Amino acid sequence: MNEEKQIFTVSELTQSIKFVLESAFDNISVEGEISNFKSHVSGHWYFNLKDENAVINCTMWRGFNNYVFFTPQDGMKIIVTGRLTVYPPRGSYQIDVRSMKPAGEGELQAAFERLKQKLKSEGLFDVERKRAIPFFPSKIGVITAIDGAAIRDMISVAERRFPLVELIIAPTKVQGSGAAEDIVDSLTELNKIKDIDVIILARGGGSIEDLWAFNEEIVARAIYTSRIPVITGIGHEIDFTIADFVSDLRAPTPSVAMELATPDKQELKNAIEYLDQKMEELLLEKIQEYRQRIDDVVDSYMFRYPLEKVRNFYQKIDNLFYKISQQIDRKILLSEREIQKYFSIISSYDIEKTLKKGFTLIKQDDKFVTRKQMYLSSKPVTIKFYDGELNLDDK
């Protein structure tokens, strides 16, 4: 008797595989390296998990990935927990990830170093681009958790050192999922306020996981593009984050960050008192200097005998008058000589003197005859002598 072999449809087979796999692998943890990570606009994450010999697709839905404190990056080794599922339209299986964590602190440190080298090569850490912190801030923006010890410590420091400053506090999530995005939003909002002089980005101490939001690339770039100088005070003195390298000034703690952002009122008071004392000393020195100069003038010979000074001026005036008089006389003498010279020249051309010497003038038709060819024998002639005239009429 031949048993008839069961024949499955593709859907039936896929459904059977789906039932077997999903029942057998309902809650599994898998370690591997991330590749082809994509964050969809819907908020879902799609990536591959691989090792040396195999690759498996993974999906992490929005809502679950909100609890991941770091942003996954290609090359990072992680441990995911979830269930195996089958996607019938493609006949493929994948891990439906419910939680994700780095495969030890070493992976976080490796991710930290990769991002640090990347941003450093782009110039985000360059000292030349870091801005100076204003000495007398009127407004300070503070980004931190509103319910933490850090904000209380910073307020206390500000009240003690420089109570004139106004604090603009942006309550911000600084740990866990969504903290990096919240920090970026706070930086953006504070940069919209025109009269804020400096921003403090701070939180108290914690593990590398607690501080990881400050190692996110989006936070580093938001600090870099901030138009307002940024001081970071994150964790304890031994804690360094990517945000510390990008910021304009790094403080070891939130309290020290506020100290670096504000002048000390007692130091200012001491400086004012010192300057007041120095100004008083300088004024007294100047007064004494001018008093001595006045005493020297009063004790001088000319001040004690003022008439002598007047007489000296009289003598100077007399000397000037004498010099001026001499110059005038000289000018007059030279002018007289010039006049005499011109008078002699003019006198030499006097007609009467010429006639007195025996010369005569001949006139015809009331015109002097100065050339032989001008003389006309047919016309009357008048001859002028020194002592009279003689008229000759040829007719």
Low-confidence ranges of the chain (pLDDT < 50): 395
The predicted pLDDT at position 183 comes to 95
pTM beyond 0.75: the answer is: no
- The pLDDT, as a whole number, for residue 302 is 63
Task: Give the list of residues 6+ apart from residue 197 with CB closer than 8 angstroms, or none.
Answer: 134, 137, 138, 139, 140, 228, 229
Among 134, 131, 157, smallest CA distance to 249 is for: 131
Position 336 scores a pLDDT of: 86
What letter represents residue 231's amino acid? I
Domain-wise residue ranges, the chain: 10-103, 112-127+136-263, 302-345, 351-392
Question: Which percentage of the chain shows pLDDT scores above 70?
Answer: 96
pLDDT score at 130: 93
pLDDT at 301: 66
Phi/psi of residue 206, each to 5°? Answer: 170, 180
Give tens-digit pLDDT for 48-65: 999 899 999 999 998 888
Question: Span 10-103: which CATH code?
Answer: 2.40.50.140
pLDDT for res 268: 82
Q: What is the pLDDT of residue 223?
A: 96
Give me the pLDDT at residue 68, please.
83
CATH topology of domain 112-127+136-263: Rossmann fold (3.40.50)
Rounded to 10 degrees, what is the CA torsion of 50, 51, 54, 57?
-10
Q: Helical H runs in the chain?
A: 10-24, 105-121, 149-161, 179-191, 217-225, 242-246, 254-261, 265-298, 301-304, 306-347, 351-356
Residues 6+ apart with CB under 8 A from 144: 150, 151, 154, 169, 171, 172, 174, 200, 201, 202, 203, 254
- Please answer whether residues 184 and 222 qualify as being in contact, where contact means their C-beta atoms are separated by less than 8 angstroms: yes
Q: How far apart are CA 186 and CA 241, in angstroms?
A: 18
